[in-house]
Amino acid sequence: MDMDQHWISSTLNIQSTSTQQQQQVTTISMETSLLDHQYLNNNKEQEEEDEQHHQRQLPCEIVEEILLQLPVNSLLRFRCVCKPWLALISDPKFIKSHLHNHSPKQDEGDDVDDGKTRSSKALVMLSSSLSLLKSVHVQVLDTRIEAGSAEADAAGAARTTSTRVVVVEEVHESPMRHQAVQDMKIVGSCNGLLCLVLHSQDMMIYNPSTRQLQPVPPPPPPPPPTNNYYSGKDYFYGFGYDSSNDDYKIVRASCSSRNGNFATHLDMYNLNTNSWRAAIKTLPCYFLSNVVGTLLNGALHWVVRLAAAERPFSIVSFDVTEETYRYVPLPGEGDKNFSFYGLGVLGGCLSMLHSPHGSDYEVWLMNEYGVKASWTIFTTIPQKMESEYLGLMSLVRILNNGEIVILLHQRKLVIYNPGHRTLRTILSGDIHSSQLALYLETLVSPSAAPTIKTYSSSITPLNQAKASP
């Protein structure tokens, strides 16, 4: 009896153990099936989520078109978003497309007209005796007030225009931020690149927006005097873009004279080769007035003196791509009594400031390039205004409301209203002995060579916004 009970108990224990094992196996099998099912579901959900995410993504072409519309500061920040954006924004084709999209057409600036408000912008880069680069954004806002509106009723007019000038300044530290710089001059501006001369001898090409710079090797020494020619002490500079070879070039001119005969030697620097070529051209003239050549239509322009006795003055034009020169006629006869105060570009036209026999300054525009008969007087500027003699001035650009931005006495920016013949100062102070250049914010690199230096931080916003009614 006892043995039978023991056998039955053992059998039950074995059966119980077997049943537990089977349950464990069944449980494990169920868990495995559940995990497999969950894994399959998760994969399916992940695939669906990936598909939905892919559908939500914009095509690369649309992303590129959006980025091409953005300003440089935004693009510099967006390089950190992801590697594809970094590669795209750094691509030379993208940089060229961005430059093309944001380049002002015929020097009309960034003009915008939405039907109610018209804006005109000018970005001016100044170098001062304090060895700082200062960018000045000048924006004119013309708001049209339509008849029947509350503003028109308050103004008591059927339609009027409210004009407001906004000026925003930014100070850029010297590109040589780790070295003391006593003297820095802007001797050219092209496609967002500045050509700078430091300490009257060291040269560099610098992009203030990206803070990239390319040191320029020392230029060749001037040719020794020959045949009793007297060499001048000043150099004349020009900076432009060679579109055929996708190259940026610096021109340096040195002048000499002998018994009324003149010779000007041109040295040229090519960014692509990072080297100078000495005395590529010799011009039979003597450069005057403009130390920095005026860039227009791919050519650099200077006022020059010729050996001719009756009409000794003219304008020389040097084509940056072809490396050839020609003469452009002055508005007058170029006789000995012709008084001029420099060249410029206004409204996409070659301009000249002329003072006939001590009377009011005349602002001349060459409406059809190279055609003497197309010179016309755009406006006149009194020599004395508000008990101040205007004297030395540089015409910067014409705003879309017809006013002119002027650098006066190399120490303050003013806006001249031709209709009312009035001046108002928009910037003065620590810009004494300034050199000025119109500037365009771009991503253009000063060089593709590995010698480029990049500084992480060199712009200090002044957070100053001034408005004049």
- Residuewise pLDDT in 10s, the chain (469 residues): 444 444 334 443 434 444 455 555 444 454 444 345 455 555 666 665 655 555 567 788 899 999 999 999 999 999 998 999 999 999 999 999 999 998 875 444 444 444 444 445 566 766 655 556 777 777 766 655 555 555 545 544 444 455 677 777 777 766 766 565 667 788 899 999 999 888 777 899 999 889 899 999 999 887 676 666 666 667 899 999 999 999 999 999 988 887 778 888 999 999 999 999 998 988 888 888 678 899 999 999 998 888 766 678 889 999 999 999 999 988 876 556 667 767 889 989 999 888 777 678 889 999 999 999 999 999 999 887 776 777 778 888 888 778 888 888 777 888 899 988 888 888 776 555 567 788 888 999 997 544 444 333 333 232 333 333 3
DSSP 8-state secondary structure symbol assigned to residue 310: S
Phi (first) and psi of residue 103, to 5 degrees = -75, 130
Q: How many CA atoms, within 13 angstroms, populate the side-chain half-sphere of residue 242?
A: 20
| Buried/exposed 231-267: b ≥16 CB within 10 Å, e otherwise | ebeebbbbbbbbeeeeebbbbbbbbbbeeeebbbbbb
Check residue 411 and give its pLDDT.
75
CA distance 379 to 417: 10
Do residues 419 and 426 touch, judged by C-beta distance below 8 A? no
Check residue 207 and give its pLDDT.
92
DSSP 8-state secondary structure symbol assigned to residue 149: S
Check residue 30 and give its pLDDT.
44
CA distance 374 to 296: 16
pTM of the model: 0.76
Check residue 242 and give its pLDDT.
95
Nearest of 272, 264, 276, 268 to residue 303 by alpha carbon: 264
Rounded to 5°, the CA angle 236-238-241 comes to 165
Check residue 58 and give its pLDDT.
79
* Identity of residue 61: E
CA distance 353 to 365: 9
Check residue 298 and give its pLDDT.
94
CA distance 362 to 342: 12
How many Cβ atoms are within 10 Å of 199's Cβ, its own excluded? 12
Check residue 176 and give its pLDDT.
63
Rounded to 5°, the CA angle 246-275-172 comes to 75
Check residue 90 and give its pLDDT.
94
Phi (first) and psi of residue 10, to 5 degrees = -65, -40
Which domains are assigned to the chain? 120-142+162-439 (2.120.10.80)
Rounded to 5°, the CA angle 411-196-109 comes to 65
Mutual orientation of helices 83-90 and 60-68 as an angle, nearest 10°?
60
DSSP 8-state secondary structure symbol assigned to residue 338: -
How many Cβ atoms are within 10 Å of 276's Cβ, its own excluded? 17
